[in-house]
A and B are shown apart, each in its own frame.
Chain A
């Protein structure tokens, strides 16, 4: 049997990152092939290459056994390949029907045939058993309904290859069941389906084969039904465990610096409670969209909360804005330095002083540049920031040194509680260990540190204790040095585990 799609030796680099190294993938007609791997393993990149969003640097793609050049979404569609993107690619101001048929509107001569458009869309919705008015603007639909519109759009292409990137991320159980019914039907019609998901329980229900990727490389392909979930997790995590684990100081007697109780907001944050002691590093692990950043932003007052209370040093505090949080002694270092953490066009000195300008303001409101320079130079020495001078523009520093500048800014503000969101994202390995050393030093000084990281080795290396989240809930705490498998299990522990997810249930009990 000639595979529907066969990709071999696919390489892809982005500036500073090698996203794919000799990756491979094979899809048969009428199979559901799950593609698994940790965040950043290269699953989405590989599928974006297949669907023409990116083009590969090297490698071969065969469709029906014939070499194919896929230089854009249009070529992919012509080959019968469509993709449902993870981040919804819809036009919010257009109606559901208009979105589905964008670029292929039925026409009567020069004019659009709106009636036929709505009729065709309705037929697709009916075949999906979906009650949705095709005339409704997409922006007025819930995320789940928008996801269904995306699926309807992909179905409308009558594709032979359908790629679904985390299609169930926003769906509830009934909607997931509907989706799986559709997938079964397509499968029977001979469509090949690539299913990217983090959810182990879904795998067992619908996948025929599973291909696992790690760090942009192909790890292996196994039959879904016969392979225990533990084995798949083992393949995802790999055996290349970091040798260095955290040295855990005894903080049991230290006072609690920050405690949160029952934080809640919609589906994103569900009844999250935890405490961090002075001198402790609490790591937050979980998959993308688990709600870790949302929790951090809520504590920092950047997003509103529906319920819950926050205690600093045992006293309840009201935090309605980042200003309140800083006043309470909480600093937050965003995962997106360039957008939220740094004024990249300003120099190092001003970036360090930015959150504490009041301290450098003289009697007449004029900034005392000399004092700012002294402080900045002090931090450059203390944190070993590599910069020619304190007047260097922040954007010219390397990622690791930019991160140090942000850390200096919060140290100057003297926050006893620091939340680091993906502190080493986009930083090269050498600089990473420097940041780790710095975080350990900060904890040793008695600060309470929260580290959110999607890289398991990083969580393991830094954390004195590990909190794991999944779908807005805190699914459990683990001690330092817990096996990666345990973390992954908690990170995929969905509240609505379906019948075939026995192993997950056992892990929960």
Chain B
């Protein structure tokens, strides 16, 4: 009994795997290196305005990537997060602009649209046994088409709902502390991160998220209703995507039905850089957040250094491969 640990503190890091923590350290030090390099290269980089711009630019991809993380931890994948985000934005536009509903209805409508879509994806995966890659690829195209149909292929502007732009662009913090005008979009990103971290580490849904990715058959043999929890995971991810839809619509003051495809790849990139394993069972929201920040810091820093956008994309690609290779190297040493 000598090896039984004495401390009984409910660790804040309960949901974090030891190796996940290592990878996050790696991603975190990568982020620090980038920050140091760019701030040395350009005095403008660490200006408050620029830092806030980086954070604001991270908010949409960050929230999407958190949604993607939840599904990826189960060993699945959700390719529909990009076009679902647009679909949710279009739903908000239809409710607020086309039907003149009050703001809260639009907000709830967008999140509900995301949840329902997640329920459908989850049901296709769990009940019809369609592989997640295919199920969500289908959903990606369905949602892309539906967005165009519902909106009549034209952008929907939120000019009649003046509070709408405040969702992402206003600053609650700034109204209290004028020196710190953190946009609401950034605040929402961090709130989502905290809530989802909590759900993953402290609730049954979170426990089964990791358990499914670790050994689905073992969970089934333990008498757990695997299908129900799996559908729950996709629904939770869908509702988070709904929040991303509100954020992007608020920043653009419009729902752009043609936008969205391609966002899922940035989101998955952030997840992977953040150390979440695509084979499931391990991953953290904090890691994903760092991954999303790395992508935006790179984009911002390279732009300040006047590196062409094309090269930014090349560098992001290299970083993804490097991040995963570093993880493989670590495993080989164990």
Contact = CB atoms under 8 A, between A and B. Distances in A.
A binds B: yes
Interface of A: 53, 72-74, 76-77, 85, 89-94, 98, 102-103, 105, 107, 110-112, 114-115, 118-119, 122, 125-126, 131-135, 137, 140, 153
A114 B222 CA distance: 19
B208 to A, nearest CB: 8
B1 A98 contact: no
Contacts of A126: 1
Given A89-B217, A93-B281, A125 B207 contact: no
A103 B222 contact: yes
A105 B5 contact: no
Contact of B18 (A77, A103, A137): A137
A91 B18 contact: no
A133 B207 CA distance: 19
Given A112-B203, A115-B8, A77 B17 contact: no
Contacts of B3: 131-133
A74 B14 CA distance: 28
A103 B219 contact: yes
A102 B211 contact: yes
A125 B5 CA distance: 13
B114 to A, nearest CB: 22
A133 B4 contact: yes
Given A118-B8, A153-B222, 18 more contacts: A73-B223, A89-B218, A90-B215, A91-B218, A93-B210, A93-B282, A102-B207, A102-B224, A112-B203, A112-B204, A112-B206, A122-B4, A125-B1, A126-B1, A131-B1, A131-B2, A131-B4, A137-B17
A91 B223 contact: no
Contacts of B223: 72-74, 76-77, 103
Contact of A110 (B5, B203, B210, B214): B203
Interface residues of B, number: 30
B219 A135 contact: no
B222 A93 contact: no
Contacts of B213: 93
Contacts of A115: 8, 10
B10 A114 contact: yes
Nearest to A126: B1
B330 interface: no
Given A93-B282, A131-B4, A111 B218 contact: no
Nearest to B282: A93
B158 to A, nearest CB: 35
A102 B222 CA distance: 7
Interface string B283-294: 000000000000
A107 B214 contact: no
Nearest to A108: B202
Contacts of A112: 202-204, 206-207
Contacts of B4: 122, 125, 131-134
B176 interface: no
> Chain B CB within 10 Å — which of A92, A93, A114 has the most?
A93
Given A114-B10, A122-B4, A135-B5, A105 B204 contact: yes
6 contacts: A92-B281, A103-B224, A114-B14, A119-B8, A133-B4, A153-B222
Contacts, number: 86
B129 interface: no
Interface string B215-229: 101111111100000
A288 B190 CA distance: 53
Interface in B1-40: 1-5, 8, 10, 14, 17-18
B156 to A, nearest CB: 37
B281 A91 contact: yes
A443 to B, nearest CB: 42
A299 B246 CA distance: 61
A73 B226 CA distance: 12
Contacts of B222: 73, 89, 102-103, 153
A85 B14 CA distance: 28
A89 B215 contact: yes
Contacts of A140: 18
Contacts of A85: 221
A91 B210 contact: yes
Contacts of B14: 114
B265 to A, nearest CB: 26
A93 B73 CA distance: 11
> Chain A CB within 10 Å — which of B2, B18, B218, B282 has the most?
B218
A381 B211 CA distance: 52
Contacts of A72: 223
A41 to B, nearest CB: 22
Contacts of B282: 93
Contacts of B211: 91, 94, 98, 102
* Shortest 9 CB-CB contacts between residues of A and residues of B: A91-B214, A93-B281, A74-B223, A89-B218, A103-B224, A93-B214, A73-B223, A91-B215, A102-B222
Contacts of B207: 94, 98, 102, 105, 112
Contacts of A92: 214-215, 281
> Chain B CB within 10 Å — which of A98, A103, A114, A135 has the most?
A103
B142 to A, nearest CB: 30
A131 B5 CA distance: 10
Interface in B264-286: 281-282
A89 B216 CA distance: 9
Contacts of A74: 223
Contact of B210 (A76, A77, A94): A94
Contacts of A73: 220-223
Given A122-B4, A131-B2, A137-B17, A91 B203 contact: no
A131 B3 CA distance: 6
Contacts of A103: 219, 222-224
> Chain A CB within 10 Å — which of B203, B207, B213 has the most?
B207
A98 B211 CA distance: 9
B75 to A, nearest CB: 10
B77 to A, nearest CB: 18
> Chain A CB within 10 Å — which of B14, B202, B215 has the most?
B215
> Chain B CB within 10 Å — which of A114, A115, A134, A135 has the most?
A114
B7 to A, nearest CB: 9
B202 A111 contact: yes
Contacts of A131: 1-4
Interface in B109-139: none
Contacts of B202: 111-112, 114
B215 A111 contact: no
B23 to A, nearest CB: 13
Contacts of A132: 3-4
Interface in B177-232: 202-204, 206-207, 210-211, 213-215, 217-224
Given A118-B8, A137-B18, A94 B221 contact: no
Contact of B221 (A53, A125, A135): A53
A112 B202 CA distance: 5
Contacts of A98: 207, 211
> Chain B CB within 10 Å — which of A76, A112, A115, A118 has the most?
A112
Given A91-B210, A133-B4, A133-B5, A102 B220 contact: no
Nearest to B226: A103
A90 B223 CA distance: 13
A111 B203 contact: yes
